[in-house]
Amino acid sequence: MKSDTDETVLIVPAHSITPAYVLYPHRFYVLFAFSFLSFNQCLIWLTFSPIARSTQIYYGISESTVDLLLNWGPIIFIPCLPLTYILLNKHHGIRRCVILLAIVDFLAAVIRIIPQVITDPSSPHFSSIALPFLHAGQILNAACGPLVMVPVSQLSCLWFAPHERTRATTIAVFANNFGLTVGFVISPYIVSSSDRVPYLLYVHLAFAFVACVLALLYFPAQPPSPPSAAAELLIVNPTGEQNGNAWKTFGKDIWKCLTNPSFVLITTAGGLIVGTLDAWTSLYDIILEPEHYSEKQAGWFGFGSSIAGIVGGLALSFLADTRRFQHSLKILIVITMVACLLSVSWFELSVHTFFYDKPILPSTAVTIGLSTALIGLFYGASQPLVYEAIAEIMFPLPESLSASILVQFNNIVTLVLLFIAPGRDKLMNLLALIITFTCIIMVVLARFSYRRRDEDERKRLEKEQDQILNQNNLNASRNGILSEPAYGTFS
């Protein structure tokens, strides 16, 4: 017999439950606009290095001056990075950073054109007039470096779902690298002779103008509603506005990072391998000269390595975003670094090194090209995973903080090695091997955690349960109202 106190359990169909978090299609436009700006920033930074000889002739400057125009990148990056972090973690920080990036980089491109407008290249004073404008343009562009490198993982967290974040971070990271790759290829073709240097500057100006217009016309500060619990935290509680002293907060947060052993190990490994391999691969022309490869061939090897890195990063980010591998960042990073070490070893056995004058393995253009492509493939595949790993470990601190420390260390290592590398190609060969091996050990010793993904999943399930409960309560209330005429009511 059924008692009066028996309750009816209502089951809500799964299809009637709205998603806990919503994704918006214009997230892809946001990623494209940011990536285009990042691509341009690197393209402008690299302007004069692939056409160094033509630059020296056109402007009447020395090789060391051309090198300085490039080295403004890491030099200016270091002091500008803390300012970028604080701006990024203000209210609507990503939009502020993107608008600033678009305007400043456009101004940098404009400034470099001014000497061609106000004076003639045949003038005896052209070099002294042009040089300050070139330095000013490169310095402004260098100040934009943190604006494209720091926000990558925070932008992906703010706009993309947890199962899309690694791919979004990868695209944002490699957009800058793609600028480097394209710059090495197209610049020598545009500047076929020294008098065509201005044509390249006008191409960069056109790109910077288009990117600036895209950002100014439409770049929303944040999605209408957060796509995840981590994004909700970024929107509701910006780190830079928790109290009046943003610098004090910044210092405390850095201390939290630097006292976390796993963060220190992974960041050190990521910074060392990026800084070392970037400096080492820039010496391909010198390393391969004894093997009778030309500068043009070395350039194509570098191009192939860069393209392979982008392919590797995108392929592995798709894998890392699948549910099965969302908690497997450590094993994926270790595998890619070990494969990178084997590829570096193969390359170095095919060239002159610190320990022997003759290559141990015979080499051809095919084997050198394949080994450099594999180095780029596996090295590139590990980069975005490191960004995501340290963001997971340090959650709920903002992703821009962990990225800031990582890219700052990258730039310090690169800057140091830029001073060591010239004329020391055999030493750099040895360092590439030792440091890659050391980085593998550090990642193996690190303890990975997935605080951000676990919190996202917990909050998602919690919201879905709340929706089910609210729907059941609503249905029960409706059933109660409908049965009142049959059973009577009490006043």
Q: What is d(CA 253, CA 404) in angstroms, rounded to the nearest whole number?
A: 12
CATH number at residue 319: 1.20.1250.20
Residue 98 domain-assigned? yes
pLDDT of residue 9: 41
| Contacts (Cβ under 8 Å, ≥6 apart) of 250 | 82, 85, 86
- Please name which of 272, 255, 121 lies closest in space to residue 198, comparing C-alpha atoms: 121
Statement to judge: residues 195 and 256 lie in one domain: no
* Rg value, the chain, Cα: 27
Q: How is 104-123 classified by DSSP, letter by letter?
A: HHHHHHHHHHHHHHHS-TTS
Please say which residue of 201, 219, 237 terminates a domain.
219
Choose among 236, 219, 249, 206: nearest CA to 82. Answer: 249
Are residues 256 and 375 located together in one domain of the fold?
yes
The total number of structural domains that make up the chain: 2
Q: Clarify whether residues 182 and 290 are in a common domain.
A: no
Same domain, 190 and 261: no
Is residue 481 included in any domain, yes or no? Answer: no
Does 176 share its domain with 259? no
d(CA 127, CA 61): 7
Assess if residue 244 is contained within a domain: no
- The 10s digit of each residue's pLDDT in 49-94 is 888 888 888 898 888 888 888 888 888 888 888 888 888 888 888 9
Residue environment code for 290-313, b if the CB has 16+ CB neighbours within 10 A, otherwise e: ebebeeebbbbbbbbbbbbbbbbb
Q: Is 466 inside a domain boundary?
A: yes
CB 163 within 8 A of CB 321: yes
Those residues whose C-beta lies under 8 Å from the C-beta of residue 374, and which sit 6 or more positions away, are 308, 339, 340, 343, 346
Query: Distance (Å, rounded) from C-alpha 86 to C-alpha 365?
Result: 48
Q: Is residue 342 part of a domain?
A: yes
Do 349 and 406 have their domain in common? Answer: yes
- Is the residue at 412 inside a domain? yes
Q: How far apart are CA 152 and CA 385, in angstroms?
A: 12
Domain check: are 298 and 213 in the same one?
no
**Is 58 in the same domain as 132?**
yes
pLDDT given at position 3: 45
pLDDT tens for 95-140 read 999 999 999 999 999 999 999 888 888 888 888 899 999 999 999 9
Q: Kindly state whether residue 489 falls inside one of the protein's structural domains.
A: no
Residues 306 and 451 in one domain: yes
The answer to whether residues 432 and 344 belong to one domain is yes
Supply the range of the domain harboring residue 330: 250-472
211 with 254, same domain: the answer is no
Q: What is the reported pTM? A: 0.80
188 and 282 share one domain = no
Q: Is residue 335 part of a domain?
A: yes
**What is the Cα–Cα distance from 273 to 444, expressed in whole angstroms?**
15
Give every residue of the chain whose pLDDT is below 50, as ranges.
1-16, 481-491
